[in-house]
Homo-oligomer: A and B are copies of this chain.
Amino acid sequence: MTEHVNRREFIVSTSAAALGAAAGRKVRASEQGVPKAFRSPSGTLVPYDREDLFRGGAQRSFSGPALAEIAFPLGGIGTGTVSLGGRGQLRDWEIFNRPGKGKVLPFTFMALWARAEGESPKLRVVEGPLQPPYAGGFGFPRSSAQGLPRFQGARFTGAYPFARIDFEDAALPVEVSLEAFNPFVPMDVDDSSLPVAIFHYRLRSRSPRPVELALAFSILNAAGYDGLARLGSEEWEGFGGNLTRVRTEPVGGRPVVGLDMTSTKYWADSPRSGSIVLATTHPTATARPVWEGRDWFDSFQKWINEFGAAGRFAERPPAEPSENGRSTYGSLAPTLRLAPGTSATVTFLLAWHFPLRENTWNREPEVKGQPLRNDYGCRFASAWDVARHAAERLEQLEARSRAFHDALFGSTLPAHVLDAVSSQASILRTNTGLLLEGQRFFAFEGCGDEGGCCPMNCTHVWNYEQALAFLFPSLERTMRETDFLVNTRPDGSMAFRTLLPLGRALWKFRPAADGQMGSVLKLYREWQISGDDAFLRRLWPRAKAALEYAWTSWDKNRDGVMEGEQHNTYDIEFYGPNTMMGTLYLGALKAAAAMAEAVGDPESAITYRRVFESGRTKHEILWNGEYYVQRVPSLQEVQPLLSASDEPWHANAVVDGQLRYQYGAGCLSDQLLGQWLSTVVGLGHVLAPEHVGTALQSIYRHNFRHDFYEHPNAQRLYALGDEKGLVLCSWPRGERPALPFVYADEVWTGIEYQVAAHLVYEGHVAEGLAVVRGVRDRYDGRRRNPWNEVECGSHYARALASWSVLLALSGFSWSAPERRLAFGPRVGEGDFRCFFSAGTGWGVFSQRIAPREGFTASVATRYGEVGLRHLHLANTPRWPGATLRSATGPDGDAITGASVRLDGNVLAIDFGAEVVVAEGQTLTLDLAQSKPA
Contact = CB atoms under 8 A, between A and B. Distances in A.
Contact of A716 (B120, B142, B305, B710): B142
B714 A784 contact: no
A148 B712 contact: yes
Interface string A140-162: 11101011110010000000000
B132 A782 contact: yes
A782 B146 contact: no
Interface in A106-136: 120-123, 129-130, 132-136
A133 B782 contact: yes
Interface stretch (A17-25, A529-537, A624-632): A17-25
Given A310-B15, A782-B132, A783-B133, A790 B138 contact: yes
B310 A121 contact: no
A447 interface: yes
Q: How many copies of the polypeptide does the oligomer hold?
A: 2
A133 B18 contact: no
Contacts of A134: 717, 720, 778, 783-784
A453 B661 CA distance: 49
Contacts of A65: 132
Contact of A138 (B12, B301, B304, B793): B793
B137 A785 contact: no
Contacts of A309: 12-13, 15-16, 19
A2 interface: no
Given A1-B314, A296-B572, 6 more contacts: A19-B149, A19-B309, A136-B790, A138-B791, A140-B717, A298-B739
A308 interface: yes
B301 A784 contact: no
A738 B301 contact: yes
A308 B720 contact: no
Q: Which of A120, A297, A660 has the most CB of B within 10 A?
A: A297
The 8 nearest A-B residue pairs measured at CB = A16-B309, A147-B713, A295-B651, A300-B714, A301-B714, A140-B717, A139-B716, A132-B783
A655 interface: yes
Given A712-B147, A715-B297, A133 B784 contact: yes
A727 to B, nearest CB: 12
B138 A302 contact: no
Given A1-B314, A792-B138, A129 B712 contact: no
A767 interface: no
A712 B308 contact: yes
A304 B16 contact: yes
Interface in A256-311: 293, 295-298, 300-306, 308-310
A346 B101 CA distance: 42
Nearest to A15: B309
Nearest to A792: B138
Contacts of A739: 293, 298, 301-302
A305 B718 contact: no
Contacts of A745: 147
A75 B18 CA distance: 39
